[in-house]
Amino acid sequence: MIFLFLFNINQIEDINSLYLMDKSIGSFPYNWIEEYISNRNGIRTSQGCLDIERWYQVYNGKARMDIGEHANFYYHFYKLDDYNFHIETHRFDLDITPPPYIITLTVSPDYFKVYDFLGLGFGLWKNAKRNFRVFLNVKDFDHNYAISRVHKDTIQDPYLIFPFQLKVVGNYFFSGGFINFNFNKGFRSKKKISFRDVLLGFEYRRDDEAELHIYYKFNKYVKFYLFSEYRGYDSTSDIFVNPYAETLKSLYIQPRVNIRISHKEFYIGLPIYYKFFHSDSSFYKKWMHGFTLDYKFPVYNWAKVSVGYQKSWRERWIDGIYYSGEYGDRESRLIIGLDLMFLKKTRFRIIEGIELDGFPENTLRHPHNHTFLSLQYVP
C-alpha cells in the first residue's frame, strides 16, 4: 500500500541535503543483486538515517515452495519507507511452468482493500536467471461489489474504469553480466462520486513504477553496473465541492564503474535524482547530481574495509523561485565502510559518513554524517 504525505513533504525532504548521497550508499551492490534475483529464497534489507525524525528502510523477502513437477508457490514481501512513499506488499504467486512457458496467478491482499490487486501473467521461463513475463493486474478489484452492499445513504464511489496495470518483468543472464527489469504501467482509473443518486463528480488516478538493473563485465578488471528506479502518480478530481489535481514524479539513476587491481577495488558512481511535484497550490522541482568514489581492500577472506568520498549538487524550483548555491545545495563527506561475508552468502555492510564541509572545525564538532547498513541472506 502507498501513503503519500503531501503536507509540506517537499520542505521536509529538503531538510536532508544529503539525500542523493544517502541513496547512493543505501543501494544494494551489484553482486548482492545478482545473488538475490538468481535464487529461489532470500531476504535483504537496507536502512539508514534520513533526518532526526525519519529512517530510510527497504525490505525484500521471498520464499518458494514446490507443489508439483511444473507448479510452484511463491511468497514475496516488499516494504519501503521514504519521504514520499510508504509501501508494504505481501504478494502470493502460483506459477505453472510447462516448458518453455510460465503462467502465473498473482494476488496481493492488504489491510486496506483499496491496495489489493489481482493479476494474471504469461511468458517464457527457462530458469530463475532467464525468464520474461507480462502481467495484467487490476487493483481494488472487488470495490464495486463492496459498494453495492453499502447503505445508499453513504457516499458511493464505484469504478467506471478500474485501475488496470500492465506489468513486464524479466531476468536475462549472459556470459558477461545480466539485465533485470520490472516495469509497471498504470492505466487511468475513473470513479463516479455520488450521494443519494445525486452526482457529485468524478475522480481519476494513475500509478507508474519501474526498476532496472544492468551489469556488464568488460574483463576481470573492469565492471559496469547501472541501477535506475522511477515512481510516480497523478490524481485529479472534478468533484464540485472539492476539485483538486496532483502529480508526483521521482527518478533515481546511478551508473557505476568498478575497477579491480590486485584484490583491491575502486568504485566510481555518478548518481542523479529528479523530483517533480505539482498541485493546485504548490509547485516543486528538484535536480540533484554528484559522484561517489570508493576504495575497498580486504583485511580477511571474509572482511573488506572501504574508504571513500562523496560530493553532491542540488537545484530547486519552489513555487516559481529558483534556489541554488544556498546552504545544503553543495555537500561533501568522507565515507568509511566495512563489508562482511559469512557462510551461505550472508552479507553485511555498514557505512558511516563523516562531515567534510567546514573542515576542520565543523568536522571536529559534528563528525557524524548519517549511517547506513545493509544485510542479505540467500540459502
Query: How far apart (Å, rounded) are the C-alpha atoms in residues 304 and 340?
Result: 7
**DSSP category for residue 99:** T
Average pLDDT of the segment spanning 337-348: 92
Q: What DSSP letter does each residue of 242-255 carry, written as one string?
A: S-EEEEEEEEEEEE
Query: For a pLDDT cut of 90, what percent of the chain falls above it?
Result: 78
Average predicted confidence (pLDDT) for the chain:
92
Give the residue among 265, 264, 229 at the shortest CA–CA distance from 249.
Answer: 229
Residue type, 88: E
- Determine the pLDDT at residue 328: 80
Question: Is 60 within 8 Å of 46 (Cβ atoms)?
Answer: no
Measured between alpha carbons, how far apart are the two ends of the chain, in Å? 29
Least confident of 10-19, 105-114, 295-304: 10-19
Residue 209 has pLDDT above 70, yes or no: yes
Q: What DSSP letter does each residue of 105-120 carry, written as one string?
A: EEEE--SSGGG-EEEE
Task: Decide which of 2 and 57 is more confident.
Answer: 57
Residue 186 has pLDDT above 50, yes or no: yes
- Determine the pLDDT at residue 5: 42
Residue 2's pLDDT band, with cuts at 50, 70 and 90, is very low
Average pLDDT of the segment spanning 338-352: 93
- Determine the pLDDT at residue 196: 86
**Could you count the other beta carbons within 10 Å of the beta carbon of residue 240?**
10
- The phi and psi torsions of 114 (rounded to 5 degrees) equal -60, -20
Question: Is 113 within 8 Å of 143 (Cβ atoms)?
Answer: yes
**DSSP category for residue 188:** P
Average pLDDT of the segment spanning 323-342: 91
Average pLDDT of the segment spanning 312-338: 91
State the sign of the Cα–Cα–Cα–Cα dihedral 89, 92, 97, 102. Answer: negative
Q: What DSSP letter does each residue of 55-117 carry, written as one string?
A: EEEEEEEEEEEEEETTEEEEEEEEEEE-SS-EEEEEEEEEEE--TTEEEEEEEE--SSGGG-E
**Could you count the other beta carbons within 10 Å of the beta carbon of residue 316?**
19
Q: Grid coordinates standing for 369? A: 554524517
Q: 339 by DSSP, 3-state: which?
A: strand
Question: Is 163 within 8 Å of 186 (Cβ atoms)?
Answer: yes
Question: Is 190 within 8 Å of 161 (Cβ atoms)?
Answer: yes
Give the residue among 241, 229, 305, 242 at the shortest CA–CA distance from 271.
Answer: 229
pLDDT, tens digit (0-9, with 9 covering 90-100), for 93-116: 999 999 999 999 999 999 998 899
- Determine the pLDDT at residue 181: 98
pLDDT, tens digit (0-9, with 9 covering 90-100), for 20-38: 999 999 999 999 999 999 9
Residue 197 has pLDDT above 80, yes or no: yes
State the sign of the Cα–Cα–Cα–Cα dihedral 56, 2, 168, 105. Answer: positive
Least confident of 196-200, 225-229, 252-256, 312-316: 196-200
Query: How far apart (Å, rounded) are the C-alpha atoms in residues 346 and 265?
Result: 20
Q: Grid coordinates standing for 366? A: 559534528
Bridge partners of 83, per DSSP, are: none
Residue 8's pLDDT band, with cuts at 50, 70 and 90, is low
pLDDT, tens digit (0-9, with 9 covering 90-100), for 239-287: 877 888 999 999 999 999 999 988 889 999 999 999 999 998 889 999 9
- Determine the pLDDT at residue 262: 85
Task: Decide which of 61 and 301 is more confident.
Answer: 61
pLDDT, tens digit (0-9, with 9 covering 90-100), for 131-161: 999 999 999 999 999 888 887 788 899 999 9
Query: For a pLDDT cut of 70, what percent of the chain falls above it?
Result: 98
- Determine the pLDDT at residue 354: 96
Contacts with 44 (C-beta within 8 Å, 6 or more apart), sequence order:
28, 32, 36, 59, 60, 61, 374, 375, 376, 377
Query: How far apart (Å, rounded) are the C-alpha atoms in residues 64 and 94?
Result: 10
- Determine the pLDDT at residue 154: 84
Residue 358's pLDDT band, with cuts at 50, 70 and 90, is confident
- Determine the pLDDT at residue 343: 84
Question: Is 30 within 8 Å of 226 (Cβ atoms)?
Answer: no
Would you call 257 exposed, middle or buried from its count of C-beta atoms within 10 A (0-12, 13-18, 19+)?
middle
- CA-based angle 310:312:315, to the nearest 5? 175
Residue 3 has pLDDT above 50, yes or no: no
Give the chain's domains with CATH numbers. 2-377 (2.40.160)
